[in-house]
Amino acid sequence: MGKGKKQKPIQWRFRLIRSRVRRTVFTRGFKPYVKMILVFFLFSFAGIVNSAASGEVRYIDERFGTGIVNMDDVNNVVNYAMGIKVVRALPEVVREGIIKPWVNSTALSYSWLLNILATNQSYVERNMGEVVALLMLTVLFFAVVGFLVSQALAIGQYRFMMENRFQRNVKKRRILAPFGDGRLLHVIKTVFFYRISLLLWMLTIVGGIYKVYQYYFVPYIIAENPDVTWKEAKKLSIDMTRGYKWNIFVMNISYIYFYVINMIPFMNLLVSTPVSTFSDIEMYFVLRHRQDIDRSLFVESGFDSYAYIDRVAAGEEPDEISCEYELKDVVIKGSSFDSADKYHITDFIIMFFVFCMIGWIWEVGLHLFQTHEFANRGALYGPWLPIYGSGGATIIMFLNRYKNNKPKLFVYTMVLCGILEYLTSFVLDFAKNAEYWNYNDMFLNLNGRICLAGLLAFAVGGFAGVYVLGPIIKRVLEKFGKRNTKILCAVLIIAFAVDLLCCAIFGFNTGEGVGNALAMAGLNI
């Protein structure tokens, strides 16, 4: 553009924008509206965005989580944490003035976790160290997810809503479209720089308010083009909003009455959030038509078309209106297996039972060798140990693709088996007050639930499953025939279900050499 008198490159009409927002939200039909509201609610409930159903989510949290907690549990958590050797070594002013208040506040904030664990008070008393560790890991997880992942996942919601401008029915899977082809980490990085930049500018207060409107459309630019860099998205948003920041501010202020509407239960979710979200989207598409900016980052030609409400008004049949996008649906890519490695569901079912029985034979044989006594070492009555079956089948299902990378396969197998073994031990401890193994006397163990030697053994077993047993089972079943394999699967599943039913009625298998009863509420069970 030439120098001199400023020209408005885009005609901005407040009433038209507001009218288009209302029609997009409320006139596309009942089903699209319900789907849209459901997405808003789920993203709010998951803590990914805070704009929808915030009151309802707080009510659920207050009713079933925060605020309803046994203070004895909180005090026990604080006392245990203060007794940790590293904490005791800190100066008293740090321990009492920082660490203790923070642990107490954290325990109260995540009281829902304490409430879940306290359903078995005996478990809490036995494993206070594990309770504290779970609490700290939960805090760390939500901190990372809240600052990095959740803001990036919000891009998926923006994408879904943007496509709702052009279509009547948008598939929910489109929420994941910005993260396909390995883009998730890139989106997380871009959004991270966006959030950090805004946070730093906010420290200047006035500069922060200005930058909010300069960077206003960065999330929508990323939602359209997830490959964009932070610098590119920032510059494009600055160019888009040049000369229109006041218009955006006035549009936001025009919805100030939402503060009154939101006093009515569920109006935030049903009215305010959809309208304000699509107001931002409509403003994005208005300024997206500017011709005085670099348009190379606008990659979706489908976004250049007329909105759904305009096409319907022009006489097009609603069911015939659709859009093609450059950003395709996320597809779980097939592995790089050759045809011999492509297993069927029946293969995995048989693998589960084969590994269950191999594990049972190993445990029974090892106990027989050590004590010269036979004992059914499983929690069930039949000749199977589900942890071995789950581990073996899961390794082949998820890690077979790494068969050509032995170091990666070895490490991943150790990690996967470690998670499965730890969770199984935790469930037995928490749900049944019993332990079927204890590695406290083993080198490099974690709470006695897993140990290095066991994980190494599982990794070796995983290799055997991937390279030997899996292919053998597949070849045998191919000779056995599909019909016979299905019958065998049905027989084994029924037998396993009967075993589980017997455990539910008579209790799990116990006896000499079969698990240890753990103290419950100060008594032996």
pLDDT in tens, 356-377: 999 899 888 887 888 878 888 7
Using alpha carbons, select from 392, 283, 292, 393 the residue that is nearest to residue 346.
Answer: 393
Rounded CA gap, 485 and 487, in Å?
Answer: 5
Provide the pLDDT confidence category of residue 59 given band limits of 50, 70 and 90: low
pLDDT at position 257: 92
- In which residue are the tokens 């500018």 written? 201
Cα–chain center distance at 309: 34
pLDDT reading at 427 higher than 90: no
Hey, what are 292's tokens? 């005085």
Whether residue 414 contacts residue 406, with contact meaning beta carbons closer than 8 Å, is answered with no
Model confidence band, residue 289 (pLDDT cutoffs 50, 70, 90): very high
Calpha distance 291→289 (Å, rounded)? 6
Token pair in block for residue 224: 């359209």
The sign one gets for the Cα dihedral 417, 418, 424, 428 is positive
Lowest mean pLDDT among 67-76, 146-155, 408-417, 418-427: 67-76
Sign of the torsion formed by the C-alpha atoms of 118, 119, 122 and 126: negative
What pLDDT is recorded for position 522?
41
The Cα 191–Cα 305 span in angstroms is 27
pLDDT the model gives residue 1:
44
Distance CA 302, CA 3 (A): 34
* Res. 2 pLDDT band, cuts 50 70 90: very low
DSSP assignment of 121-138 equals: HHHHHH-HHHHHHHHHHH
Residue 158 pLDDT class (50, 70, 90 cuts)? very high
Check pLDDT > 90 for residue 122. no
CA 25 to chain CA centroid, nearest Å: 28
Sequence length of the chain is 525
Distance in angstroms (rounded) separating the CA atoms of residues 41 and 118: 29
CA angle, 289 then 291 then 295, to 5°: 80
Mean pLDDT value across residues 480-507 = 91
pLDDT recorded at residue 12: 93
Looking at mean pLDDT, say which of 228-242, 410-424, 490-504 comes out highest: 228-242
Which token pair is 455?
Answer: 């994980």
What local confidence, expressed as pLDDT, does residue 53 receive?
A: 53
- Mean pLDDT score, 511-516: 61
What pLDDT does 117 receive?
Answer: 86
What pLDDT score does 335 carry? 38
Interacting residues of 78 by C-beta distance below 8 A, sequence separation 6+ = 100, 103, 104, 107
Place 49 in a pLDDT band, splitting at 50, 70 and 90.
low
Residues 6+ apart with CB under 8 A from 483: none
Q: Write the CB contacts of 412 (distance below 8 Å, at least 6 apart in sequence).
A: 399, 402
Averaged pLDDT of the chain: 86
* pLDDT score recorded for residue 323: 86
